[in-house]
Structure 1
Amino acid sequence: MRLDKFLKVSRLIKRRSVAKEVADKGRILINDKQAKSSSDVKVDDVLTLQYGTKTLIVRINKILDTTKKDVAQEMYTIISETMLPRDEKEAQF
C-alpha cells in the first residue's frame, strides 16, 4: 500500500493530500530511510513522522484498504511520541 494512503486509512494524518505534502517535504521515514508519498509500506515497517511539534514513531501491525474509526488504531502500534518545546521548533525554521 502507498504511504499516503496508509496514513489516511489509519487516521495518523486526516487527509491524503496532507500526508503527501508531509512525505514530500522529507518529514517521514520508513525504517530510517526517507520516504516519498508513493513509497510502499508493509507489515512490521517502522514509520517516523515529524509534523508540527510532534515526532511520532509507529510500527505497522496490519494493512487494510478501508477501516472504521475504532478499527484504524489496530493498524499500528505507537512506539514513541515526543513533543518539541515551542522555542526549539522556532529555532529549526
Structure 2
Amino acid sequence: MRLDKFLKVSRLIKRRTLAKEVADQGRILINGLAAKASSNVKIGDELTIRFGQKIVTVKIEDLQETTKKEYADKLYSIVKEEKAEA
C-alpha cells in the first residue's frame, strides 16, 4: 500500500494530499529511511512522522483499503512520542 494512502486510511493524517505534502518535505521515515508519498509500506514497518514540535513513531499492524473511524487506530501501534528539538 502507498504511504500516503495508509496515512489517510489510518487517520494519522486527515487528507491524502496533506500526507503527500508531508512526505515530500522529508518529514516521514520508513524504517529509518526517508520516504516519498508513493513509497510502499507493509505490516511490521516503523514510520517516524514529524508533526511540528512532535515526533511520533508508529508500527504498522494491519493494512486495509478502507476502514471505519473506530477501527482506524487498530492499523498501527504507537512505539514512542517525543518532543522535537528546534
Question: Is residue 30 of structure 1 aligned with residue 35 of structure 2?
Answer: no
Larger Rg: 1
Q: TM-score, normalised by structure 1?
A: 0.89
The ranges of structure 1 where at least 4 consecutive aligned residues each deviate by more than 4 angstroms after the TM superposition are none
Runs of 5+ unmatched residues, structure 1 = none
Q: Which residue of 1 aligns with 2:52?
A: 52
For 1:63, give the aligned amino acid. L
Residue 83 of structure 1: how far off its partner (Å): 2.3
Q: TM-score, normalised by structure 2?
A: 0.96
Q: Which residue of 2 aligns with 1:2?
A: 2
- For 1:53 and 1:64, the matched residues in 2 are separated by 29
- For 1:23 and 1:75, the matched residues in 2 are separated by 19
Q: Which residue of 1 aligns with 2:69?
A: 69
- CA offsets per residue over residues 18-77 of structure 1, 9 Å max, x none? 100000000000000000000000000000000211100000000000000110000000
Runs of 5+ unmatched residues, structure 2 = none
